[in-house]
Amino acid sequence: MKTILLTGGAGYIGSHTALALIAAGFEPVVLDNFANSHPVVLDRLARIAGRPLVLEQGDVLDTDWLQDVLRRHRPAGVVHFAGDKAVGESVAQPLKYFHNNISGAVSLLRAMEAAHAEDPTTAPTLVFSSSATVYGDPASVPITEDFPRSHTNPYGHTKLVIEDMLYALNAARPAWRMGVLRYFNPVGAHPSGLIGEDPAGIPNNLMPFVAQVAVGQREHLNVFGDDYPTPDGTGVRDYIHVQDLAAGHVAAIRALLDRGESFTVNLGTGRGHSVLEVVRAFEKASGRPVPYRIAPRRPGDVAQCWADPGLAQRLLGWQAKHTLEEMCTDAWRWQSGNPAGYRS
Ligand code: NAD
Ligand code: UD1
């Protein structure tokens, strides 16, 4: 059974990917420092998988320790989820983001390089969590991978720098196999309702905020702008079920291991939904009202953003399957069963 190391594997996307890898016959090793996740995730994963998962608790900034982890587990591939992801916090604390995200990626790549020098029999294989944020304010939709990249905040800047680092390293080391995955808007939860998104404090993103309004934890949603050039005036995004995203990682690992060619692909559905469509879909899925007020636009927001997922389909044979209704139903099952997240 091939081992796959997941940095940030206890987080929202990492935990769902760990289960998808097990279902596909891989052995995930979860590496996390629990900076933005909870150790109880491992108990939940064990309940769903029917057996405990291997955990390595520590920090990706610790290169020597990472090297030791790689030596002990000899993973066939690494998925690098670990990092900080809150846009607003990155504006207030840019150094935190440049350090954890960029230095964290350098630390991992150095450890992988050292492990490869010790055991040159397999090619280093890495999947990286990038984001649609690297497209900045796109000139048109749908977005293809060759669109120009830019950044509007330090978080997005770190994703762009890490992508460039990977491309430069791959140019110098063509034997490395790298899959850069640009996620659109991940939402939803595992159908068991046992794992899901557990944001600390007030959620920045739409779906967890809507879920907390529906469960009665927050009074109303602020809809950030209703005067965008979109069908109903509210922002349009490509929401993708986290289970589809997890399947995308399995497809990416398989493609890298089987074919050995690096790639950069969008992981999205190719469909956009407005804020008000999300509100209505969530009300239907939960049977609860989601009161909202129109508020000013959020600085830095774009009117519409959705993927052309054609390249991922051609290269990886992967396609998103879940509808917005399913995303809301699964998010609601998680939220209503765990009103205070993993601290419930
Ligand atoms: P998350 O915060 O739930 O998961 C990240 C995990 O990394 C957490 O468990 C955290 O404890 C861990 N971590 C952070 N710094 C670490 C360090 N130095 N050492 C070890 N562990 C560390 O986030 P997520 O939503 O699962 O996102 C995973 C990745 O995908 C991130 O890189 C994020 O930027 C990227 N991404 C997320 C989204 C999204 O909307 N969720 C969209 C695009 C890209
Ligand atoms: C945001 C980040 C992006 C990051 C992504 C991760 C910003 C500017 N962008 O993208 O860098 O990669 O999350 O998923 O923060 N909305 C409301 N009320 C709310 C929250 C959101 O109306 O309380 C609206 C937004 O204006 C937007 C849509 O809902 O139109 C989606 O917002 P969000 O979930 O934050 O995602 P993005 O803005 O696409």
By C-alpha distance, which of 215, 224, 222 is closest to 335? 215
- Which of 205, 297, 302 gets mutated to test ligand 2 (max ligand atoms within 8 A of its CB)? 205
pLDDT band at 8, cuts 50/70/90? very high
- pLDDT surpasses 90 at 10: yes
Query: How far, in Å, is the centroid of ligand 1 from the Cα of 84?
Result: 6
Would you say residue 18 lies in a domain? yes
Would you say residue 212 lies in a domain? no
Do 77 and 257 contact (CB within 8 A), yes or no? yes
Atom of ligand 2 nearest to the CA of 156: 11
Would you say residue 265 lies in a domain? yes
Which domain, by its residues, includes 262? Answer: 3-186+239-269+308-321
Report pLDDT digits (tens) over 149-171: 999 999 999 999 999 999 999 99
Do 100 and 279 contact (CB within 8 A), yes or no? no
Would you say residue 127 lies in a domain? yes
Do 343 and 38 contact (CB within 8 A), yes or no? yes
Atom of ligand 2 nearest to the CA of 234: 30
Is 183 one of the annotated active-site residues of the chain? no
Would you say residue 296 lies in a domain? no
Atom of ligand 2 nearest to the CA of 278: 29
Q: Whose CA is nearest to atom 15 of ligand 2?
A: 87
Query: How far, in Å, is the centroid of ligand 1 from the Cα of 121?
Result: 30
Comparing 295 with 200, which gets the higher pLDDT? 295
**87 CB near ligand 2 (under 6 Å):** yes
**133 CB near ligand 2 (under 6 Å):** yes
d(CA 131, CA 185): 9
- CATH number of 119's domain: 3.40.50.720
pLDDT over 90, % of the chain = 98
Would you say residue 217 lies in a domain? no
Dihedral-angle region of residue 150 (phi above 0 means left; psi in -120 to 50 means alpha; beta otherwise): beta
pLDDT band at 344, cuts 50/70/90? confident
Q: What is the mean pLDDT of residues 129-144?
A: 97
DSSP 10: T
Q: What is the pLDDT of residue 245?
A: 98
Query: How far, in Å, is the centroid of ligand 1 from the Cα of 157?
Result: 15
Domains contained in the chain, number: 1
**206 CB near ligand 2 (under 6 Å):** yes
d(CA 138, CA 142): 9
Query: How far, in Å, is the centroid of ligand 1 from the Cα of 177?
Result: 22
Q: What is the DSSP string of 263-325?
A: EEEEES-S--EEHHHHHHHHHHHHSS---EEEEPPPTT--SEE-B--HHHHHHH-------HH
Q: Whose CA is nearest to atom 25 of ligand 1?
A: 12
pTM, two decimals, is: 0.98
> Does 28 sit behind a cis peptide bond, omega within 30 degrees of 0 on the bond before it?
no
Query: How far, in Å, is the centroid of ligand 1 from the Cα of 313?
Result: 25
Would you say residue 196 lies in a domain? no
By C-alpha distance, which of 123, 128, 190 is closest to 338? 190
Report pLDDT digits (tens) over 59-69: 999 999 999 99
Report pLDDT digits (tens) over 221-262: 999 999 999 999 999 999 999 999 999 999 999 999 999 999
Which residue among the candidates 12, 97, 135, 155 is catalytic per the annotation?
155
For the chain, the average pLDDT equals 97
Q: Where are the beta strands (DSSP E) in the chain?
A: 3-7, 27-32, 54-57, 77-80, 125-131, 177-183, 185-187, 221-224, 236-237, 239-241, 263-267, 273-274, 292-295, 304-305
Would you say residue 234 lies in a domain? no
What sign has the CA pseudo-torsion 6, 7, 12, 15? positive
Q: What is the pLDDT of residue 304?
A: 96
Report pLDDT digits (tens) over 299-322: 989 999 999 999 999 999 999 999
**124 CB near ligand 2 (under 6 Å):** no
Report pLDDT digits (tens) over 171-187: 999 999 999 999 999 99
